[in-house]
Amino acid sequence: MRHALILAGGSGTRLWPFSTAGLPKQLVPLLHGRSLLDIAVERATSVVPAAQVWLGAGEQLRAAVSQVEGLRSDRLIVEPSGRDTLPAVTLGCAVIAAQDPEAVVAVLTADHLIEPLSSFAATLAAAFSLAEAREDALVTFGVVPDGAATGFGYLELGDSLAGGGQVVTSFREKPTPAVAAGFLAAGPQRYLWNSGMFVWQAGALLRAVDTFVPQAGGLLRELGRVYGTPAWDDLARDAWPTLPRLSIDYGVMEPASISPDFTVAALPLQAAWLDVGSWPAYGQALLADADGNRVGAARAVLHGSRDNVVASSDPDHLVTLVGCEGLVVVHTPAATLVMPAAEAQRVKELHARVASLAPELA
């Protein structure tokens, strides 16, 4: 059967102060009272039956994610602690495979906006078909670049595949502006943005982990087998911390792309895709007014101001700007952030300072 595994981890520090350790960005009602996770679950359940939609999250978020509408309580897979995406993805696939050995799993993100849904569904169906037809296939979605972005990784593409898509010959890390410009000029037949979403047979992913991260494969299989049983507690407490901290790209996808035993394939995502990973990106999800301002606040007055992003989580608080241009202004009852939009990537640095000086606000 076809399954979807939504990863709801990640700290979202670049969306501070909305996003905090206790309520990271995917759980914050950023868009008209709805969270990115709400939207992700709705997106998944429109393609895969609710009984086959799973959610992976850390222990600290168990209570929060349990309240997500449309998610069955017995489809929550909780990691004891965060150890990057390889343990999270592999545990999820191992749990699913323990119940359905023939499972084909789409690994989806909880912090992206993808529209229209019909286009996403068509690409996902094609990826499922490709993974079902090839036991060696590890399928990923690529996003057609609309600029020379330096904040995303890239997929380098090679030959076309009979079942659709192209072979991924290499994974390219976040490039310099000059290299990104070269990728863009080469066109989407050569380079796509790496979306961080995948489709594969659960068994294929587990074999790949056995092959490329042998010290983790057997343990993660066992953790998946005993998940939800009394044996889980001891194994999770004693063995989980011994797992390596690895991303799924670095641990599996990159070595698989040069292995004769696996085929890493990319399908272009035929939909508009937005990684809501920074305040300017959040602004792109909002409608702009006549002056280019993007406002996600219940009460705001902007006078003689243009190209600003304004957000507030307090419906009674009035945010005002006069003569401002290119700023990000974010208000919560606990903290206020003001910065030039061009400095948005530095919020992560700021968050680290906040965490050391006022950890209760981080």
Q: Write out pLDDT tens, residues 209-256.
A: 999 999 999 999 999 999 999 999 999 999 999 999 999 999 999 999
Q: State residue 270's pLDDT score.
A: 78
pLDDT at site 298: 94
Please report the pLDDT score of residue 52 as a whole number: 97
Q: How far apart are CA 218 and CA 223, in angstroms?
A: 9
pLDDT at 62: 87
> What does each of the 362 residues of the chain score in pLDDT, given as a tens digit?
999 999 997 778 999 999 998 889 899 988 888 899 999 999 999 889 999 999 999 988 888 888 888 889 899 999 999 899 999 999 999 999 999 999 999 999 998 999 999 999 999 999 999 999 999 999 999 999 999 999 899 999 999 998 789 999 999 999 999 999 999 999 999 999 999 999 999 999 999 999 999 999 999 999 999 999 999 999 999 999 999 999 999 999 999 999 999 999 999 997 888 989 899 999 999 999 999 999 999 999 999 999 999 999 999 999 999 999 999 999 999 999 999 999 998 999 999 999 999 999 99
Predicted pLDDT of residue 106: 98
Read off the pTM: 0.92
Closest CA to 310 of 279, 334, 333: 279
Q: What is the pLDDT of residue 162?
A: 87
CA distance linking residue 302 with residue 304, whole number of Å: 7
Confidence at residue 23, expressed as pLDDT on a 0 to 100 scale: 87
What pLDDT, on a 0 to 100 scale, did the predictor assign at position 212?
A: 98
pLDDT of res. 60: 84
Task: Provide the pLDDT for residue 292.
Answer: 98
Sketch out the chain's domains with CATH numbers: 2-275 (3.90.550.10), 279-361 (no CATH)
